[in-house]
Chains A and B, each alone.
Chain A
């Protein structure tokens, strides 16, 4: 079946540091790929997405590129802020409309 594997956390960075959270997937067909963010006590917000190979999703300084050859969708940000502290989920959505999520990576950014 489909699966998503995320880099285990927690990840702790200083403000303005570079962020990478790795995500790899296994799926049949050509899924869409997503990063969601969950701030403390809140639901999931869509951060960015890519719907086909080589697409780059970007939002709020975060980026991720759909790499079909390595089945990856790593999340990056050049300079993190304290307000970026949250749990980040990588996910895929198949053509059949079913999602599979990674276990989430907790990011803490210290001033």
Chain B
């Protein structure tokens, strides 16, 4: 199974509040996991990726952080949200042979 779960599905948060988005995956162990953000009307920007527990690589400097406390759990966080953090956040994993990337259903975040 390549199932990816994300929650919450939608979230409205005030500026300055904290954030925690969760992604869990099913299937093979030790998958590569990714967080992407899609701003309105734009493509996907890779934010973080992880090749294993506790291993996080950041692609762009920003207000967000990521953690991987368990093999199949990937968390996106912020201590203080900014208006510019609004967007559609997608979690993804690669297939075992690294030839395909699968996406979760996404979380829509609106920061007011």
Assess the A101–B44 pair: CB atoms within 8 A.
yes
A95 within 8 A of B: yes
Contact of B90 among A34, A44, A95, A97 (CB under 8 A): A44
Q: Tally the A-B contacts, defined by beta carbons under 8 Å.
A: 54
Total B residues in contact with A, Cβ cutoff 8 Å: 21
CA distance A42 to B32 in the complex (A): 23
Which residues in window 23-51 of A have CB below 8 A to B? Answer: 32, 34, 36, 42-46, 49, 51
B94 within 8 A of A: yes
Assess the B44–A89 pair: CB atoms within 8 A.
yes
CA distance A101 to B38 in the complex (A): 11
Assess the B101–A43 pair: CB atoms within 8 A.
no
| Secondary structure dominating the interface of B | strand
Assess the B43–A99 pair: CB atoms within 8 A.
no
Assess the B90–A104 pair: CB atoms within 8 A.
no
Assess the B105–A103 pair: CB atoms within 8 A.
no
B61 CB to closest chain A CB, in angstroms?
16
Assess the B43–A44 pair: CB atoms within 8 A.
no
B51 within 8 A of A: yes
- Known contacts A89-B43, A103-B42, A104-B42, A97 near B103 by CB under 8 Å: no
A13 within 8 A of B: no
| Secondary structure dominating the interface of A | strand
B32 CB to closest chain A CB, in angstroms?
5
Assess the A44–B94 pair: CB atoms within 8 A.
no
A4 CB to closest chain B CB, in angstroms?
8
Contact bitstring B10-52, A, C-beta under 8 A = 1, else 0 = 0000000000000000000000101010000011101001010
CA distance A35 to B106 in the complex (A): 18
B67 CB to closest chain A CB, in angstroms?
19
Contacts A32-B100, A44-B44, A103-B42 aside, 15 further interface pairs with beta carbons under 8 A come to A34-B100, A34-B101, A36-B103, A42-B105, A42-B106, A43-B105, A44-B103, A45-B103, A49-B99, A91-B44, A93-B98, A97-B32, A97-B94, A97-B98, A99-B44
Binding site for A on B (CB under 8 A): 32, 34, 36, 42-44, 46, 49, 51, 90, 92, 94, 98-106
